[in-house]
Chains A and B, each alone.
Chain A
Amino acid sequence: MKCKNDLDERQLLQRGNVFQHGLVLFFVLVAVNAVLKDDGIVWAEGMWENMLIIWAVVMLCLGEFAVKEIYPMGGGMSVIYILEGVCGAFIMVFGIIETATGAENFLVGPHTLSRTGAQIIEGASMVLLLLVFLGKKVYNRRREALEDEA
């Protein structure tokens, strides 16, 4: 009943839904960004507008995978969540140190994120993703016993 990548029929269905949500979010964010650009509003420095849009979509998909416990790469997904969480923590901490020491600013304009500001947000979201993953694991362990008894 399981396919090559170890997802069963319900998980395959949910994986499709997750990708659908990601695609819709991507279209919405690109459209909003285009409207803002047309009005001359730049909300992040340089390439970081595009990077944050892509990252938001990746975050949504990985977050939904964690919550719904769909791991397309099996046990390897745990390593990915942990690695990206640790990397995110480093990115966030170094960004905060840079802004705290005054080496970089969080904003470069009234409503424009600096490179460091964007990195802090990206790092924080990576840490959040790891917390969601770990939280779901803990929640699942607690529920497992209860559901079997019910």
Chain B
Amino acid sequence: MGKNLKMKAARAAMGLTQQGLAEAVGVTRQTIVAIEKGDYNPTVKLCIQICWALGKTLDELFWEGPENEMQK
């Protein structure tokens, strides 16, 4: 799994730190770090919560496709 730069960019655009986002979705900061680095594949439930917190859709943050592929 590659790095999730879209999530990192969305978080930065919202002015949230990793700790801030972690508190908003109820996980540890390390979990946010792991998701952004691509070391951990979150459940759909957590993905949805992250999307709510960042004001994005699942497609915008997590969809991997030929036209919208995550950074490897």
Contacts and interface: CB of A to CB of B under 8 A. Distances in A.
Interface string A1-23: 11000001111000000000000
Interface of A: 1-2, 8-11, 69, 144, 147-148
Interface residues of B, number: 18
B28 A1 contact: no
B41 to A, nearest CB: 9
Contact of B26 (A1, A10, A147, A148): A1
A37 to B, nearest CB: 42
Most buried by B among A2, A8, A10, A148: A10
A31 B34 CA distance: 36
28 contacts: A1-B25, A1-B27, A1-B45, A1-B46, A1-B49, A2-B26, A2-B27, A8-B27, A8-B31, A9-B27, A9-B31, A9-B42, A9-B43, A9-B46, A10-B27, A10-B30, A10-B31, A10-B34, A10-B42, A11-B28, A11-B31, A69-B28, A69-B30, A144-B19, A144-B29, A147-B18, A147-B33, A148-B18
Contacts of A9: 27, 31, 42-43, 46
Closest 5 CB pairs of A and B: A8-B27, A1-B26, A10-B31, A2-B26, A10-B40
Interface of B: 17-19, 25-31, 33-34, 40, 42-43, 45-46, 49
Contacts of B28: 8, 10-11, 69
A10 B42 CA distance: 8
Contacts of A11: 28, 31
A131 B26 CA distance: 29
A55 to B, nearest CB: 28
